[in-house]
Amino acid sequence: MKAKRRVITSASLASAPRTPAPKRRPTVRRLKSAFAPVSPGLTGPRPVVRAVSAAAPAVSPETGADPAGEIDLSVDLGRGLVVRNPVLVASGTFGYGIEYGDVVDVQRLGAICCKGTTLRPRIGNPTPRVTETPAGMLNSIGLQNPGVDAVIEKYAATWAGWQVPMIVNVAGESVGDYVEVVRRLEGVPGIAGIELNISCPNVGRGGLQFAIDAGAAGEVTAAVRRATDLPLLVKLSPNVADVRPIARAIADAGADALTAVNTLSGIAVAPTRKKPLLGNIYGGLSGPAIKPIALRVVYEVSQVVDIPVIAIGGVTNLADVLDFLAVGAVAVQVGTAIFADPTLPVRLVEELGSECRTRGLDSYRPLIGTALPKRAGAPSARGVEYRP
Amino acid sequence: MRLAGAELLDSREILPDQWLQTYRAPDLTAGVRAGQFVHVRTGDYSGMILRRPFSYNTVDQVAGTLTIHFRTVGRGTDWFTHLRPGDRIDMLGPLGRPFEVDSRSQHLLLIAGGLGMAGVRALADEAIRDGRQVTLLFGGATAREVYPSSLLPDEVEYVVATDDGSVGHHGFVTELVPQYEAWADQAFACGPLPMLRALAGLAASRSHRLGVAALGRKRGSGKVVPAGSPQARKKAFLQVSMEQNMGCAVGACLGCVVMSTSGTPQRVCREGPVFAGDEIDWEAGW
């Protein structure tokens, strides 16, 4: 048994047998029919949200939540990646999990997505790399990292001793890069999963980002899927006209979960007005400013795929978490808000538990998907206005 | 590193658009050394998502108070000026590596450009407490922006240069440095990047002319200390406190880097903000 599966329970093993991804995933039409009419408050519409008996204390469903008892906040993100609560920290905002150790109890997080990791070391972009914008920030770090081998050498042993699963965020310039990084991560104790950052230029295809093309996104996902048995999350880019075909291609290629969304492309102007502010000119916009866009993407994506969707984009309080759950996310990642309030993710876990207790729920799952259309029918005509 | 509340005790506009605020924050003053900083959260969280880094300007570890000195340059700093005594804000600190004074250094030359005073001010207190002699060179645009000498310890020799000659030396503060470089055992600077770059050049040529590359590099001392380590910094003639747009201030986001001569970006918040002058690649244009 590989150490990376230390969060696996016998129940989740039974429910998630380690079979290779089927060549043909269920078609979208079949998926639609899989969305049975749901009465909100009874059960989540997403079959992927499985209870984990070991993590969930026995609470009688008839009597509702025991006020003193634990609320079941655990969720299976696929392939046995069971997180104890649905509050993750986003890649690039939490380093390698050790930086905030003095002020945050990292073991209480659902999972940590580490800084983007590439095959070779990268020194990143020229400065300035970050700047504040209204209700958000722009960053263009340029994937500065010491390379996958150094990351494993420096941090994996520490992670292996942790209870909190570490999801390594992987970036690359070609399909081969991604596959090689993932191969090196495979089987390393302390690594619980992979999150693919596909918002990188594909050098082999003239610098077109993987994330904006369904074919390229599917191709890189499938290649990584063949290379690893680790739980595989793929991070969607919001910088596309319609994210649904891309999400479907990634799900069909065998991803275990989707993360939505990455940052939005933007620029800022230097105070002198003589040049753009950021050293790299372009930066990624994050923070509360992008929450409505992230909500829209999660809303759309969660209706067209049958794998878990992890929401990210402007989570700053419990209401944001509940919003994202309502539009179909099974978990959230907190990112930029950590810079202002490092203790926020841990506090959100507690607040989500209290919220469930207040509502008399023994699990947060009934909160998922409550704002989705009650019955998924023909492909939605909504959103057609921003198709090219 | 601790996350703690701080209560505003006093807020004064000491110079046009420049404020000096005193906070009571006992949790954030214990063990603080000159050169370190606090990362302060603005209250208007919906609009301003990032904290603001401020150097410890002065620290009173007995009373548990600290002061910060800043110029109002935008919404964030403007927000701080509207705080009233008694208001509580959230600070993360102490952060960063401090100035490292070699135990043999008796004569310290401090060089501050404009608001760079906030970066070296605490070192003047620390050095005088340790019985060292301090000369503080200050450069400002005009007499109106000269840091008041009444806010400095009496023991400090304070020399001023202004760009327009309205008070003190007419010209850049860096032009005063050659008069003191033979006297000084070590120099510590904070200010605009061009000033720091010029000082790094002066420090390099001084080492060349006076025949000492760094303190302690004497006969029989063949020990090699890794560049960028506190030990190496301690032996450097010039130490600079760097500034950069900052995100997390704990080393997680890699937003606040400066390029080092070794070719690897160094985080201002974690490896800095104090660096040896010869540690920084001044021509990198980062």
- What does the pLDDT read at residue A58? 42
- How far B206 CA lies from chain A's nearest CA (Å)? 30
Tokens encoding A273: 């007005």
Q: What are the respective helix, strand and coil percentages of chain B, to the nearest 5?
A: 25, 30, 45
User: Residue A143's closest chain B neighbor by CA?
Assistant: B254
3-state DSSP call for residue A19? Answer: coil
Residue B258 · residue B286 · CB < 8 Å: yes
Q: Using one digit for the tens of pLDDT, what is the confidence trace for B8-33?
A: 999 999 999 999 999 999 999 999 99
In the block, residue with structure tokens 């404009």: B114
In the block, residue with structure tokens 């050394």: B33
Q: Using one digit for the tens of pLDDT, what is the confidence trace for A178-233?
A: 999 999 999 999 999 999 999 888 777 777 888 888 899 999 999 999 999 999 99
Q: H-type helices in B3-146, by residue range?
A: 75-81, 117-129
How is domain A45-122+142-263+286-386 classified at the CATH fold level?
A: TIM Barrel (3.20.20)
At residue B223's C-alpha, the angle toward residues B217 and B228, to 5°, is 80
In this predicted structure, the answer to whether residue A31 has a pLDDT above a threshold of 80 is no
DSSP code for A276:
B
Q: Hey, which residues does B238 pair with through a beta bridge?
A: B187
DSSP code for A61:
T
Kindly state whether B252 is in contact with chain A, defined as any CB-CB distance less than 8 angstroms: yes
Residue A25 · residue A87 · CB < 8 Å: no
Query: Which sequence spans correspond to the domains of chain B?
Result: 2-95, 107-279
Q: Percent of chain A, pLDDT > 90?
A: 64
Least confident interval from A34-38, A311-315, A359-363, B69-73: A34-38
CA A120 – CA A254 distance, rounded (Å): 26
Q: pLDDT band for A39, please (50, 70, 90 cuts).
A: very low
In this complex, the residue of B252, B258, B263 whose CB is nearest that of residue A100 is B252
Closest by CA position to A221, among listed A183, A198, A253: A253
- What does the pLDDT read at residue A94? 93
Asked if the bond preceding B94 is cis, omega within 30° of 0, the reply is: yes
CA A301 – CA A4 distance, rounded (Å): 29
CA B173 – CA B189 distance, rounded (Å): 11
β A201-202/A208-209 pair status: antiparallel
Q: Using one digit for the tens of pLDDT, what is the confidence trace for B89-148?
A: 999 989 999 999 988 889 999 999 999 999 999 999 999 999 999 999 999 999 999 999
Q: Using one digit for the tens of pLDDT, what is the confidence trace for A97-145?
A: 999 988 999 999 999 999 999 999 999 999 899 999 998 999 999 999 9
Q: What are phi and psi for residue B92, nearest 5 degrees?
A: -115, 125
3-state DSSP call for residue A75? Answer: strand
CA B94 – CA B35 distance, rounded (Å): 10
Closest by CA position to A186, among listed A136, A153, A227: A227
Could you count the other beta carbons within 10 Å of the beta carbon of residue A7? 22
Q: pLDDT band for B285, please (50, 70, 90 cuts).
A: confident
CA A339 – CA A318 distance, rounded (Å): 17
Tokens encoding B153: 């310890």
Query: Which sequence spans correspond to the domains of chain A?
Result: 45-122+142-263+286-386
Catalytic residue check, A356: no
Name the CA radius of gyration of chain A, rounded.
20
Residue A114 · residue A233 · CB < 8 Å: no
Average pLDDT over residues A91-98: 92
Tokens encoding A128: 């300035």
In the block, residue with structure tokens 């050293």: A279
Q: Using one digit for the tens of pLDDT, what is the confidence trace for A48-87?
A: 444 444 444 444 444 444 444 678 898 999 888 999 999 9
β B2-15/A282-286 pair status: unpaired
Q: Which run of H or E residues covers position A286?
A: strand A282-286
Q: Which of A113, A114, A200, A356 is catalytic?
A: A200
Domain at B2-95, CATH class: mainly beta
3-state DSSP call for residue B70? Answer: strand
Which residues have a Cβ under 8 Å from the Cβ of A299 and sit 6 or more positions away? A327, A328, A371, A372
- What does the pLDDT read at residue B135? 94
pTM, two decimals, is: 0.83
Kindly state whether B268 is in contact with chain A, defined as any CB-CB distance less than 8 angstroms: no
CA A332 – CA A256 distance, rounded (Å): 16
Could you write out the DSSP letters of every residue in A173-218?
SSHHHHHHHHHHHTT-TT--EEEEE--SEEGGGTTEEGGG-HHHHH
3-state DSSP call for residue A240? Answer: coil
In the block, residue with structure tokens 């410890």: B56
Closest by CA position to B216, among listed B117, B135, B100, B63: B100
DSSP code for A363:
B
Residue to mutate among B248, B264, B283, with most A CBs inside 10 A, is B248
- AA identity, residue B247: G
In this complex, the residue of A93, A123, A316 whose CB is nearest that of residue B253 is A93
**Cβ of B286 and A100 within 8 Å?**
no
- What does the pLDDT read at residue B141? 92
CA B269 – CA B257 distance, rounded (Å): 8
Q: Using one digit for the tens of pLDDT, what is the confidence trace for A222-273?
A: 999 999 999 999 999 999 999 999 999 999 999 999 999 999 999 999 999 9
Residue to mutate among B28, B243, B253, with most A CBs inside 10 A, is B253
Q: Percent of chain A, pLDDT > 70?
A: 78
Q: Hey, which residues does B134 pair with through a beta bridge?
A: B108
CA B275 – CA B97 distance, rounded (Å): 9
Q: pLDDT band for B221, please (50, 70, 90 cuts).
A: low
Tokens encoding A233: 């999350």
Q: Which run of H or E residues covers position A131?
A: strand A130-133
CA A201 – CA A178 distance, rounded (Å): 12
- What does the pLDDT read at residue A379? 45
Residues of A in contact with B49 (CB under 8 A): 132, 135-137, 287-288, 336-337, 339-340
CA A103 – CA B250 distance, rounded (Å): 10
Tokens encoding A319: 């209401």
- What does the pLDDT read at residue A69? 61
Q: Hey, which residues does B60 pair with through a beta bridge?
A: B65
- How far A74 CA lies from chain B's nearest CA (Å)? 27
For chains A and B, count residue pairs whose Cβ atoms are closer than 8 Å: 107
Q: What is the dihedral of CA B95, B97, B99, B101, to 10 degrees?
A: 130
Q: Using one digit for the tens of pLDDT, what is the confidence trace for B30-53?
A: 999 999 999 999 876 667 889 999
- What does the pLDDT read at residue A20? 46
Q: Which run of H or E residues covers position B133?
A: strand B133-140
Q: What is the CATH number of domain B107-279?
A: 3.40.50.80
- What does the pLDDT read at residue A30? 37
Residues of B in contact with A92 (CB under 8 A): 252-254
Which residues have a Cβ under 8 Å from the Cβ of A384 and sit 6 or more positions away? none
Q: Using one digit for the tens of pLDDT, what is the confidence trace for B151-204?
A: 999 999 999 999 998 998 998 999 999 899 888 889 999 999 999 999 998 888
Asked if the bond preceding B273 is cis, omega within 30° of 0, the reply is: yes
